[in-house]
Amino acid sequence: MRKVISYVVAFTMTAVMVATPMNTIVRGDKIDDLKRQKQEQEQKQKNLEKKASDTKSYINEIDAKITDVSTQLGKTTTSLNNTQEQIKVTKKKLDEAQESVKSQYSDMKLRIKYMYENGDTQMLDLILNSKSITEFLNKAEYITELSQYDRNMLDKFKKTRQTIADSKQKLEKDEKNLLALQKKQQSAKANLESLADSKKGELSNYEDQIQIAKNSAANIDKEISAQQEAIAKALEAEKKRQEEERKRQEQQQRQQQQAANNSNNTSTNTSSGDDTRTSGSGSWGWPLPGHHTISSGYGPRDGGYHNGIDIPAPAGTPIVAAASGTVAWANYSSSAGNWVGITHSNGATSVYMHMSSSCVSAGQSVSAGQTIGYVGNTGASYGNHLHFSVKLGGITGSWANPWSYLG
């Protein structure tokens, strides 16, 4: 009974020893979550940096347009100033031409009036005062030329005035067009500057968000480091605890083994205790030649059920196939350790557990008595021994009494 209890306790403690501490698992999950958050922040930062880069490029394009419009506006303003200055000069010339026309027209009117009022007397004076016909004709011709001169000068001044007036009208039209162009360019510049300010605001916002993402990633890195440090400490503490537990259990195992040896020397056990039987009602051979002591038999054991028989032997003792068959599996289990299952023609599967190692592989055909592995203490085992059992229905089937198959 004490042996059964010790195996149950040992199995439970082994499961505890190989298990990862729960707080370590939780912290590992938290680290995975933190890494995912960091990846999200890094992706967010990349997206923001792309937007910031695009915005900077757009601002540069706007600045280039503002420079171009400003240059055009400067040229337009210069042309407008020149035009307005020419308008002033032309207006002055027009005023002067107007005065010249008025003056010439006044002079001509006076001469015409004089000739009209003194026409007969003037002609009589020409005749009486002329010393010869030649002088008379010369004086008459002079009067005619003077009158013609007045008319020519008046026409000339009128044409000059009209030319200046036309020039002034053209300049005023140019001024109007330049004012409209200037207004349009000023509006375009204002709109571009407003758009640039808006994009600069977006850029500033992106840069703030990028910095926030960087800070968040840095904080996550710190938290990951803190969690990893905590995990390392927890694992170190667990390792230390497991080492202490291992030493305690080894001590307990030695004591129990000694008690079992003493018990074997003084008594013979039934299927629920020690058993020195070496054969049953079946036809299979013995799986561990030379070692026939049964340290734990098949059947009920301390509230549970032991599904096979335990045969103690020194580590490395050869284990043989109880009957010919095909290896169904040969691998490692946390509870069975290195174990092998062999299917046989009668539909049963012989099972060999806790080997130090196996020397067969799945799918391999074996003969009765062929070595398939060696005694060990792997899996949930305390002390070198072979756990031999029989299954019906393969690895997922039900356990059967091995004495019904062993001969």
Mean pLDDT, each 10-residue run in order, the chain (407 residues): 40 40 61 86 90 92 91 91 88 79 70 58 59 64 69 77 84 90 91 92 91 88 84 79 71 56 41 50 92 92 86 97 97 94 95 97 97 96 94 87 92
Contact 377, 354 (CB under 8 A): yes
Domains of the chain: 1-266 (1.10.287), 299-404 (2.70.70.10)
**pLDDT (0 to 100) of residue 249:** 63
Q: Which residues contact 44 (CB under 8 A, 6 or more apart)?
A: 209, 213
**pLDDT (0 to 100) of residue 274:** 44
Rounded distance between C-alpha atoms, residue 233 and residue 166, angstroms: 100
Residue 165 Cα distances to 84, 91, 102, 171, angstroms: 15, 8, 16, 10
**pLDDT (0 to 100) of residue 309:** 96
3-state secondary structure of 353: strand
**pLDDT (0 to 100) of residue 15:** 38
Rounded distance between C-alpha atoms, residue 306 and residue 9, angstroms: 14
Tens-place pLDDT, residues 113-126: 665 555 555 555 65
Tens-place pLDDT, residues 204-237: 998 899 999 889 889 988 888 888 788 888 778 8
Cα dihedral 374/378/379/381 (nearest 10): 100
Contact 199, 58 (CB under 8 A): yes
Per the prediction, the chain carries an average pLDDT of: 80
Q: 305 forms bridges with which residues in the sheet?
A: 300
